[in-house]
Each structure stands twice: as structure tokens, then as C-alpha cells.
């Protein structure tokens, strides 16, 4: 890790309850999530050095509060409460068959995470739009750790849409993205401001470059992906000594 080789306190931020439930179970966190802020649905379960926070259910639309805005609120409020040394953005993502990705693969961010849909074609603002937020250095044991997790090293990009129009795909191709999600870069932005180490762990539910509709792939593969996500996160937390 960049600041702390063995983080004393870890916060795991997850968007959807279907993603968070198996992660909490893998970590032995069985208490009911507690609200983090009266105006937002974000909630957290904490036990000693470990905490899992979720974006919660949007009260107006009555669905999981996904994407970047809820992720920022959840990360900030949970970090203020738990005071972590490391924040992990855990969840599901789209992958790329053309870059060796497959359904159920788990990727760990090993390069800065970026936004692929914040296009501001003005010098200075263009770099701000992309973000390029740092990730924690796992050190010389990285490859052994990823192997134990059953995970791959990868580049990740974030956007607020489930689909991938050509303009976004071109940016993802330029970044060499292995996984496309809707929260990681937003969580990383908060961590950069707080001076807290950040990692993303994402399991693949759908292949962006496959002809089948993304939503159909996602629904069919969510169970498999979340099962593998939980196992990988549990392995990572155990290896870091916080479990």
C-alpha cells in the first residue's frame, strides 16, 4: 500500500444490495446496516476494523441507488464514520472479450481509474474529466495476492450509463479498459481528496463487446459474479490482516 502496508481499518463500498449481501456474509458481518445520513439512503455495517457500506435504495424510484453520485455520498459519509486506511470499491462490471475477459472474471485495479464519459474538450478540463485517480500499490506480493484471490490485474473505467456507445468505447479502448463500471472512479475521487488508499475489485457480469444485450447478460450472470466477488474480497481482506 502507498501509505500503510497492512491497513488497520478497511471500508468496502458497494452499490447494490445484491452485490453487498454475499460480501458481508464472506466477511462475517451479519448485523443490519445502519443509516449514514438522514437525507440519503446510504447505510453501513461495521465490526471492528471492517465495514461494508452500500448506497441503499433510492426512496423515490425504489431501486438500488447506483452510479457515481450515490457512490460519492456513501464513500464520504462512511469514511467520516469509519476512518479507514483503505477503501475498496467492490462490485460488478462489464468486461471485454477482445482483451481476454470472461464472465465471472475478477479484476483488481492496478493502474489509475478513469472516467470514460466525462468529455470536456478544453485544455486542463479534459484531464479533469478523465480523472486518473491513483490506486494503492500492493507491493512485491501483488501477483501472489491476486493469484490467491483468483483475480487478474486490470485497468478500470467508470461511466454513468449501462450501455457503451461508440464515443465511450473509443475512450475505453484508448485507456485499454479491462472492466467498465459505474462507481469506482467516483469512489477513488473521494479517496484522493481524503488522502486514503483506494482499490477497486470488480467481477464481470457482461461482455461489452459481445452482441447479446448487456441487460440480459447482467441478469443471467449476476449470481455467479457476486459469488466470485465475495470470495475475492474475503481473500483480499484476509491477506491484508483485517479479517
Active-site residue set = 19, 206
Phi-psi category of residue 70: left, alpha or beta, with phi > 0 → left and psi -120 to 50 → alpha: alpha
For the chain, how far is it from start to end, CA to CA, in angstroms?
A: 17
Distance separating alpha carbons of residues 144 and 189, to the nearest angstrom: 28
Largest CA distance in the chain: 49
161, 164, 166, 183, 233 from 117: Cα distances, Å: 9, 10, 11, 12, 27
Q: 453501513: which residue's cell?
A: 44
Distance separating alpha carbons of residues 51 and 115, to the nearest angstrom: 26
Residues with Cβ within 8 Å of 208's Cβ and at least 6 positions away in sequence, in order, are 94, 95, 96, 164, 169, 172, 180, 214
Long-range contacts of 120-123 (CB under 8 A, 24+ apart): none
CB atoms within 10 A of CB 60: 7
Chain centre to alpha carbon of residue 170: 22
Amino acid at each position: 500500500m502507498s501509505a500503510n502496508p497492512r491497513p488497520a481499518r478497511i471500508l468496502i463500498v458497494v452499490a447494490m444490495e445484491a452485490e453487498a449481501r454475499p460480501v458481508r456474509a464472506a466477511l462475517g458481518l451479519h448485523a443490519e446496516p445502519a443509516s449514514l445520513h438522514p437525507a440519503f439512503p446510504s447505510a453501513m455495517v461495521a465490526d471492528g476494523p471492517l465495514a461494508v457500506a452500500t448506497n441503499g435504495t433510492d426512496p423515490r424510484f425504489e431501486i438500488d441507488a447506483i452510479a457515481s453520485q450515490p457512490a460519492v455520498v456513501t464513500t464520504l459519509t462512511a469514511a467520516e464514520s469509519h476512518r479507514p486506511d483503505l477503501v475498496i470499491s467492490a462490485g460488478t462490471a462489464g468486461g471485454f472479450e477482445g482483451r481476454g475477459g470472461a464472465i465471472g472474471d475478477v479484476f483488481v485495479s492496478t493502474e489509475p481509474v478513469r472516467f470514460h464519459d466525462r468529455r470536456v474538450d478544453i485544455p486542463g478540463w479534459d484531464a479533469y474529466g478523465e480523472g486518473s485517480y491513483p490506486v494503492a500499490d500492493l507491493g512485491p506480493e501483488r501477483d501472489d495476492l491476486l493469484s490467491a484471490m483468483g483475480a487478474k490485474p486490470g485497468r478500470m473505467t467508470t461511466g454513468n450509463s449501462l450501455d457503451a456507445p461508440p464515443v465511450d468505447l473509443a475512450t475505453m479502448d484508448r485507456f485499454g479498459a479491462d472492466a467498465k463500471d459505474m462507481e469506482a472512479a467516483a469512489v477513488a475521487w473521494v479517496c484522493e481528496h481524503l488522502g486514503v488508499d483506494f482499490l477497486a475489485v470488480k467481477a464481470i457480469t457482461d461482455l461489452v463487446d459481445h452482441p447479446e444485450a448487456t441487460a440480459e447478460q447482467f441478469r443471467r450472470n449476476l449470481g455467479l459474479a457476486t459469488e466470485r466477488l465475495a470470495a475475492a474480497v474475503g481473500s483480499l481482506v484476509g491477506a491484508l490482516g483485517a479479517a
